[in-house]
Amino acid sequence: MAMIVTQSLVKTYGKGKKEVAGLSGVDLTVESGEYVAIVGPSGSGKTTLLLSLGGLIHPTSGKVIIDGTSIYDLKPADRIEMRRSRIGFLFQTFNLIPYLTAMENTEAPLMVAGKSREEQDTIARATLERVGLGDRLHHKPSELSVGQQQRVALARTLANSPSIILADEPTGNLDPATVESVADMLNDLNEEGITIVMVTHDPRMASRARRVAELVDGRMAARV
């Protein structure tokens, strides 16, 4: 069963002679439970594609269908709710709130989702323990290593139990040992049934995916 489908997805920036194509008719299907790596040269449209899949960049034309729903045909509030409840994002920049602890950063999306204070505490604690940070619950980002900060970001991503994770260069700032650790965690999550689409320049990360799709000049060029 297809979890993610794009149909003739086009995204252009600018107007007239200054118009630049970010995506030029991308057709992509990702099955439920698949782990797909998107690779390609810089400027090929990989991040634009990922953000379009997540409901963050409205395409110029074409469709993004998540689990049977064309997300850009939804009302904005409904699209936000789908993104909140179904999709988790993992970025190269961790986007942690610097004055909040690991627990508080992980609780943030749970608070937005309307969870009770007790639920926030229980879920955040369990999720941080799941990513190996049970002994760092009350540390702020500045008190954590880069790898630990990425684990907090992953815990925050997992807090609302997404069925899809969209990862944009999730190991771009990490040392080799930590890259392997994050790669292992993503593989474990995929084995649990989470659908993962990851943009990466790292061949080690791409090799962990079940399928690799290549994007060149805004078009799908090859699949391996």
pLDDT tens column, 46-96 = 999 999 999 999 999 999 999 999 999 999 999 999 998 899 999 888 889
Q: Mean pLDDT in each 10-residue stretch from start to end of the chain (224 residues)?
A: 93 78 92 96 91 94 96 94 92 90 95 92 95 95 92 93 94 80 91 95 91 92 58
Dihedral angle over CA of 116, 130, 203, 96, nearest 10: 40
Where do the domains of the chain lie, and which CATH numbers do they carry?
2-223 (3.40.50.300)
Residue 161's nearest CA partner among 85, 222, 101 is 85
Residue 137 in tokens: 């619950």
Grouping H, G, I as helix, E, B as strand and the rest as coil, residue 87 is strand
In terms of pTM, does the model score above 0.75? yes
Residue type at 39? V
What is the DSSP pairing of strand 87-91 with strand 164-168? parallel
Round to whole Å and give the CA distance between 219 and 10.
9
3-state secondary structure of 59: coil
Mean pLDDT (the chain, rounded): 91
